[in-house]
Structure 1
Amino acid sequence: MHIGILTFTFSLPGCSSLKEKRQRVGGLHERFGRNPAVAVCESGELNRHDASEWSFVVVGSSKREVESLCSQIEDKVQRTVEGRVLDVVREFL
């Protein structure tokens, strides 16, 4: 079994409330959490309006499978989040 951790740090310019923040990035959990090989959570910057950090834990039977799924997640997040991706960190265990 192989495990990958993908962590995104976002800047959310102009975001003035936690409610607006949840509207901008809250859909990440619904979009990716349905896949049984992926766990998703907001992992940092919980109380800031203008920033957010999200982590994805990806599990697969091969490193290639995990890397492929991480790439798919990264591509989709880059296209769908209403904010700027400041940093993406990939770790493999």
Structure 2
Amino acid sequence: MVIGVLRFTVHLPESASLKDKRQVVGGLLARIRTRFRVAAAEVDELDRWQVAALAVACVSNDGRHADQVLAGVLAYVEENARDVLVSSVSTQLLRL
């Protein structure tokens, strides 16, 4: 069994409040969960208006598949979330 974890930071330059941030981040996480069938959550920077740390997890029986799913998530965010800037990307595969 392989658990793939993608962690990345997004900057929200248009956000003027935590409400603005929650709206953008919540919608993005919902789209990621629905499209890729993965677990996704905001994991850090909860009190900052213009920054969010997000994590995505995928369970698979093949490391290459988990890596492909996470790469697809990252590509989707970079291409489709026009109101966020992605930085600090890290991916980890845990074999159990």
User: TM-score higher than 0.5 here?
Assistant: yes
Does the 8 Å contact 1:3/1:57 carry over to 2?
yes
Instruction: For 1:1-93, list aligned pairs within 5 A.
Output: 1-34=1-34, 37-81=37-81, 82-93=83-94
Task: Tell me the C-alpha RMSD between the 2 structures.
Answer: 1.6
Query: For 1:75 and 1:31, how far apart are their aligned partners in 2?
Result: 13
Does the 8 Å contact 1:7/1:89 carry over to 2?
yes
Does the 8 Å contact 1:5/1:57 carry over to 2?
yes
**TM-score, normalised with respect to structure 1:** 0.89
Residue ranges of structure 2 left out of the alignment (5+ in a row): none
| Number of residues of Structure 1 aligned to a counterpart in Structure 2 | 93
Residue range with higher mean Cα deviation, 26-35 or 4-13: 26-35
Q: Deviations over 1:64-84 (max 9, x none)?
A: 110110111010011222121
Does the 8 Å contact 2:11/2:50 carry over to 1?
yes
The one-letter code matched in structure 2 to 1:7 is: R
Query: For 1:47 and 1:23, how far apart are their aligned partners in 2?
Result: 14
Residue ranges of structure 1 left out of the alignment (5+ in a row): none
Query: For 2:84 and 2:36, how far apart are their aligned partners in 1?
Result: 27
The one-letter code matched in structure 2 to 1:55 is: A
Query: For 2:58 and 2:91, how far apart are their aligned partners in 1?
Result: 11
The one-letter code matched in structure 2 to 1:15 is: S
Does the 8 Å contact 2:36/2:73 carry over to 1?
no
Does the 8 Å contact 1:37/1:60 carry over to 2?
no
The one-letter code matched in structure 2 to 1:18 is: L
Q: Percent identity?
A: 33
